[in-house]
Amino acid sequence: MSRILVFGGAGYIGSHTCKRLAEAGHEPVTFDNLCEGHRDFVKWGPMIEADITDADAVRSAIAREHPEAIIHFAARSIVPDSLTDPGGYYRTNVTGSLNILEAARDCGGVPIVFSSSCAVYGAPARLPIREDTPKSPASPYGRSKLFVEEILTDFSAAHGLRSMALRYFNACGADPTGEIGERHRNETHLIPRAIFSALGRVADFRVFGDDYDTPDGSAIRDYIHVADLADAHVRACEYLLAGGQSDALNIGSGHGCSVFEIVRAVEAAGAGRVPLEIAPRRPGDPPELVADTTRAQDVLGFSPRHSDLETIIETALAWHRKDA
């Protein structure tokens, strides 16, 4: 059993990863400030309640817990918010990450799996998106993730601190057993908001743009089930524990679904009709973003098992009905 310190382990993706770590025979220790995470999502190991911007708390946790590896999810992640509060995003996402990296370096070079994002690419000229696609993030959020990736590269070269950055696409769905799921205090994501609209919990579900150059006019995205994302993080962690070298990989399903396909799938799953309004496109939203996942398959042996649209919607709907 390896002890894994999971920063942000009480959040959506972090909690699913802690469950998968425990299933794989590891001991997850959660470090979370509970700003967006949930205490009742911490079920598979102990918890440290603290903030990554507190350098002393981060260093103390790593020194005390002696983890064999670190998985780092803790971040602010709402793209529109990053446009109005860039300083807050850089302070948490970049400075907080630097606290973790420096402590990991000083505590024996603990390897790190970093939660990055396809937002580092911006609006790419070619699809599908490969790891060598030029990086041109369109928001402070995306830039903060790219900055941390670059710091990881520098720490690997200067200090031998090994890391794996996982650039994942649209996380969605819920634990297939219904034990945990997606619960945000301010829900902005497409799938839960479409479900909430069908269930009568929101009255302002908007589709941003129906005039894209796509088959049905709505934007296309790559949706990856959270259980598959959790598996990718555990695989990356085990890769580093086995001596694997620093890298950055796309984690997605490898195919795209449009907004209107999502709406139809929610209705087909029995949630009811999805009332919506068509709103103008949001600035900077590209028509299509789809991952090339070849390298994740080659390096980690990763292949999604839950990321078909039917499973995504069924697990999400079951969770949101339960978590009312």
Contacts of 235 (CB under 8 A, 6+ apart): 300, 301, 302
For the residues of 99-166, what is the DSSP string, one character each? Answer: HHHHHHHHTT---EEEEEEGGGS-S-SSSSBPTTSPP---SHHHHHHHHHHHHHHHHHHHH---EEEE
3-state SS assignment for residue 281: coil
- Which of 12, 90, 121, 141 is the catalytic position? 141
Specify whether 141 is catalytic.
Answer: yes
Given a contact cutoff of 8 angstroms between Cβ atoms, the answer to whether 29 and 54 are in contact is no
Given a contact cutoff of 8 angstroms between Cβ atoms, the answer to whether 171 and 295 are in contact is no
Alpha-carbon distance of 202 to 280, in angstroms, equals 19
Walk across the sheet containing 112-117 and list its strands. 47-49, 27-32, 3-7, 69-72, 112-117, 163-168, 247-251
Kindly report the backbone phi and psi dihedral angles of residue 181, in degrees, each rounded to the nearest multiple of 5, phi listed first.
-170, -160
Go through the chain and tell me how many residues it has.
324
Is residue 250 packed enough to be buried (19+ CB in 10 Å), middle (13-18) or exposed (0-12)? buried
Tell me the catalytic residues: 141
